[in-house]
Structure 1
Amino acid sequence: MERIRRNIMAGLLASLPLLLTVWVVGIVFDFLVAAGRPLVLAVAGAVDTWAPGVAMILQQSWFQTGLAAFVTLLALYVLGAATTAVLGARVWHLFDRLMARIPFVESVYGAVRKLIASFQQAPAGQQRVVLVEFPNPQMKTLGFVTKVFTDTETGQEIAAVYVPTAPNPTSGYMELVPVENLVWLDWTANEAMQFILSGGTSAPDRLTFGKS
């Protein structure tokens, strides 16, 4: 029984990276399919009158899945190429201004845009990746500083820290932490994300655990 238990645990640990990879890829693939499927269905409806055979193929679930994912990837590529060009950047800026004028939509869209921008540029020239005390002073967890406030009464600097969960960084919680209680790391955002996704197994060799 001990050998059976040991072999099962060894097999689980050996397959865990593959299972997590399949899980993450599955989430991304489902998103791509869901985003591209309406366009595939619209094309199938448009060609049904003059090419029913083609429409029948387009309506097959397996074909919709593959084509929808391909169309979405192609659209993301074109969008990324356009936003990096000068003219595309201007058009995207105008689109942002339009979204900012739509009630309710502006709240959600603007919040997401600010979150993405906060990860692209560190506040006040400081490093973004930090350690915060959790769940007790002897233990710390990894977080990302998204904004730094100033207490209107005391003048103390307070940092808004997003603490992601592992291995799924899309869920987490927010903490307001005095800046002097943070431990600033010289990790990049990509290194920190690899650390979270890998459950701590993939990380830089350098680490400052105490106050810097």
Structure 2
Amino acid sequence: MAALRKWLLTGLLVIVPGVITAWVLNWIVSTLDQTLQILPVAWHPDKLLGVHVPGFGVVLTLLILLVVGAIASNFAGRKLVQWGDALVHRIPVVRSIYSSVKQVSDTLFSESGNAFRTAVLVQWPREGVWTVAFVTGAPNGEVAAYLRDEFVSVYVPTTPNPTGGYFVMVRKSDCVELEMSVDAALKYIVSMGVVAPADPTLVSPSK
């Protein structure tokens, strides 16, 4: 029985990562393939080739992103984007949603942004209990005036799904900045502490 249990656990360790990876990739490709619906039916790869080949939606999505990025990078494109933003901000309800999403996306994807660039240790949900969090910025405006002391905004992700979590503001002096990368911190969170990042003090310097 001990041998059977060992073989079963070994099989799970080999199969589960591959199955989950394949499932996630299949979900991503299937979702992006929906972008093919913007093409005329006669231009669909399934119609042209006579057989379904997954992945054309990924290529189309990348092309759209490249074209939009190229257009928005020049003077005329920036003016067009500004005109579109001004138009959306005139629409009630829509402007509130759009402005919030745009601010978050600008913070996350901007090359000059600092969101999710630093992993820290914070005491959460009570003093004496520590968890890994990510610095997303600093309080400002009325919130900063009320807090007075130097605070930072942090995102505390849940385990094993880091897409859910809590936004909290803590004193900067109460945060312990970690040397691990954001990727390593995410792996640590998703694995529920099983995949521990390497200790930087034990890594030999490269020659």
CA distance 1:118–1:5, change in 2 (3 Å):
same
Q: 1:195 to 1:83 in 2, by over 3 A?
A: farther
CA contact (8 A) 1:115 1:146 kept: no
Please give the root-mean-square deviation of Cα atoms over the aligned residues, in Å. 3.7
Moved more, 163-172 or 194-203: 194-203
Determine the C-alpha separation between the residues in 2 that align with 1:11 and 1:77.
Answer: 42
1:29 deviates by: 1.8
**Would the alpha carbon gap of residues 112 and 189 (structure 1) be closer, same or farther in structure 2, given more than 3 Å must change?**
farther
Q: 1:132 aligns with which of 122, 137, 161?
A: 122
Q: Does 1:122 align with 2:121?
A: no
Return the alpha-carbon distance in structure 2 between the equivalents of residues 202 and 84 of structure 1. Answer: 41
CA distance in 2 between counterparts of 1:70 and 1:78 reads 12
Residue 97 and residue 73 in structure 1: after superposition, are their counterparts in 2 closer, same or farther (change >3 A)?
Answer: same
Aligned to 1:112: 101
Q: By how many angstroms is 1:187 displaced?
A: 4.4
- Percent identity over the alignment? 30
- Once the two structures are superposed, what CA deviation does each residue of 1:131-164 show, in whole Å capped at 9, x if it has no partner? 2223554442222222322553451233332122
Question: How high is the TM-score relative to the length of structure 2?
Answer: 0.69
Deviations 1:104-150 (A, max 9, x none): 22222222222233334228xxx632222235544422222223225
1:148-198: CA deviations, max 9, x gaps? Answer: 225534512333321223554322222232322211234454554455556
**One-letter amino acid of the counterpart of residue 175, structure 1:** V
Partner of 1:169: 162
Mapped partners of 2:6, 2:61: distance in 1: 44
Q: After superposition, what is the alpha-carbon deviation per residue over 1:33-69, rounded to whole angstroms, capped at 9, x for unaligned? A: 23x14214xx11xx59xxxxx89826x8935x54434
Question: How much has 1:6 moved relative to structure 2?
Answer: 1.4
Aligned length: 193
Is the 8 Å Cα contact of residues 118 and 182 (structure 2) preserved in structure 1?
A: yes
* Preserved CA contact (<8 Å) 2:29 2:55: no
1:184 matched residue in structure 2: 177
2:24 is equivalent to residue 24 of structure 1: yes
- 1:206 matched to 2:205? The reply is no
TM-score, with length taken from structure 1? 0.67
Check whether the contact 1:32–1:73 (CA below 8 A) recurs between aligned residues: no
Stretches of structure 2 lacking an aligned partner (at least 5 in a row): 202-207
Alignment partners' CA distance in 1, 2:45 and 2:147: 67
Gaps of 5+ in 1: 49-53, 208-212
